[in-house]
Copies of this chain bind each other. A is one copy, B any other.
Amino acid sequence: MSVSIKDIARAAGVSPSTVSRALNDHPRISQATKARIRQLAQELGYTPSLPARSLVTRHTATIGMVITTAADPFLARLVQGVEETAEKNGYSVFMSSSYRNAERELEVVRAFHERRASGVIITGSQIDDGYLQLSSQFPLPIVLINCRAYPYSVYVDKLSGARQAVEHLVQLGHRRIAFIGGPHGHRSNLDRFAGYRQILEENNISQNDSLIFTGEGTIESGIQAARHMLTIPQPPTAFFCFNDLTAIGVIRALQQAGAEVPRDCSVVGFDDLEMASHYCPSITTVRQPTHRLGQRAISILLELIQGNSNLQPERLPAELIVRESTGPVSEAGLKPYA
């Protein structure tokens, strides 16, 4: 189908190797033929076959990226960070989605390996350090994002982020602070919870299990969480949410129940999506350095590709962004069954 190096050779009356040399500007070739062949290649619409080339060079210049879902707002600057550095080093980045499904995640990694990608970056992994066992099955460099159990990874210090968030609430006078968690058992969720507990403890606030809710990190689950909290005898005066989507759901449900944020109740999110600064009220949240996260991930991957395996998980700081959704604890607070 596609025009090959042989077609050009035939058209130019030279051997295929000469064409190859012309196209890769090999030193040992005359300027004249080089120009002539390049011209011809252009005219014939020649595009080199990377599969064929990679067979001999053992290099596909391809980075695979496993994402959770195409529309995850968390990805915007992350992917950009990865692409910038990748491109600078001659790699192309291709994404495929796992839908947070372990089986599919493995399938995608396998797909990348079958295509002999140079390496893979995975976000939202369901496998985690399971890749250590699978390393014989997938003998290609893998870097995980936000999975600190795996040695080749970058992660954001969510513990510290959570601590800053809850500390902020405590300083505003809140003592009944709800924790609206994400998918159960996940590291990132555990870190947030740990930070939450630490700050409560450091401030001599006894933990109240009825203020703990396990959600899914969606708007919908935030709505459910808030509605539930409105049914308990002593509703919280503040919510610390797994992420901004959850926070949006919580705010939405509180407003529907007639409460005002932050007057009657404070809400903190996590991620700092674009929406967070534009929502009404704008949302106090914990920002992850997503662009840098991508940059570091690809940098580590490139190191790995070059054979440097003497690496450790890398930690990046999180930062609390205070906006309108948090305020001093109110006298009134939420009324149950509001």
Binding site for B on A (CB under 8 A): 1-2, 45, 47-52, 54-55, 58, 60, 62, 64, 67, 69-76, 78-80, 83, 92-97, 108, 110-111, 113-116, 136-139, 219, 223, 248-249, 251-252, 255, 274-275, 278, 280
Contacts and interface: CB of A to CB of B under 8 A. Distances in A.
Copies of this chain, complex-wide, total 2
Given A70-B67, A96-B93, A274 B219 contact: yes
A97 B67 CA distance: 13
A137 to B, nearest CB: 5
A275 B278 contact: no
A83 to B, nearest CB: 7
A51 B115 contact: yes
Contact of A76 (B45, B50, B71, B275): B71
Contacts of A64: 94
A187 B212 CA distance: 49
Contact of A116 (B49, B72, B108): B49
A193 to B, nearest CB: 25
22 contacts: A1-B58, A45-B137, A45-B139, A50-B115, A50-B116, A51-B52, A51-B54, A51-B55, A70-B70, A70-B72, A70-B76, A70-B95, A71-B73, A71-B76, A71-B79, A73-B73, A93-B96, A94-B95, A115-B115, A248-B278, A255-B280, A275-B275
